[in-house]
């Protein structure tokens, strides 16, 4: 019977490890995609540079969606199979939902720029780029401290 509990504990650690790895990969896209938008906003009139940035942005956005999807599946496994729960989890999920909205808005701006729509100013995009950092800090604190 002891090996079953060891296997369950081992599985939990593997799921948690991979959840964290895919969250890190998704957050990398959340942080870098707005930087691509900053570069797009600053390189108007440079068609070759703009084309390269658009390609990078499209690929990164697709990669980010894949990473988020896998992280979400693993997170649901942690929540429902392993019984992770608490008020802190609901607060974390709210912040993750806000970061997902941020990611989707960034993707829409990227798609709009490809169609010739104007972007916010580079300064506004830089500030927009910093927003998820604050959310991530709170998410990490919630996960580690589990305050409620």
Q: What dihedral do alpha carbons 66, 67, 68, 74 form, nearest 10°?
A: 110
pTM: 0.91
Question: How does pLDDT run across 49-91, given as a tens digit for each residue?
Answer: 999 999 999 999 999 999 999 999 999 999 999 999 999 999 9
pLDDT of residue 23: 98
The mean pLDDT value of the chain amounts to: 95
Whether pLDDT at 4 is above 80: no
- Residue ranges of alpha helices (H) inside 43-148 are 47-76, 87-114, 122-145
pLDDT of residue 44: 87
Contact 70, 22 (CB under 8 A): yes
| Nearby residues of 100 by Cβ (< 8 Å), 6 or more positions away | 68
Whether pLDDT at 1 is above 90: no
**Tokens 């084309």 sit at which residue?**
51
């Amino acid at each position: 019977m002891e090996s079953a509990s060891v296997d369950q504990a081992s599985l939990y650690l593997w799921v948690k490890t991979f959840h964290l790895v895919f969250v890190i990969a998704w957050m990398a896209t959340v942080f870098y995609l707005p930087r691509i938008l900053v570069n797009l906003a600053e390189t108007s009139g440079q068609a070759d540079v703009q084309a390269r940035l658009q390609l990078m942005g499209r690929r990164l956005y697709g990669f980010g969606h894949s990473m988020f999807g896998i992280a979400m599946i693993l997170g649901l496994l942690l929540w429902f199979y392993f019984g992770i729960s608490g008020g802190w989890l609901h607060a974390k999920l709210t912040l993750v939902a806000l970061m997902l909205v941020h990611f989707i808005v960034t993707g829409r701006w990227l798609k709009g720029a490809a169609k010739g729509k104007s972007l916010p100013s580079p300064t506004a995009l830089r500030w927009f780029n910093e927003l998820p950092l604050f959310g991530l800090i709170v998410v990490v604190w919630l996960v580690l401290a589990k305050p409620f």
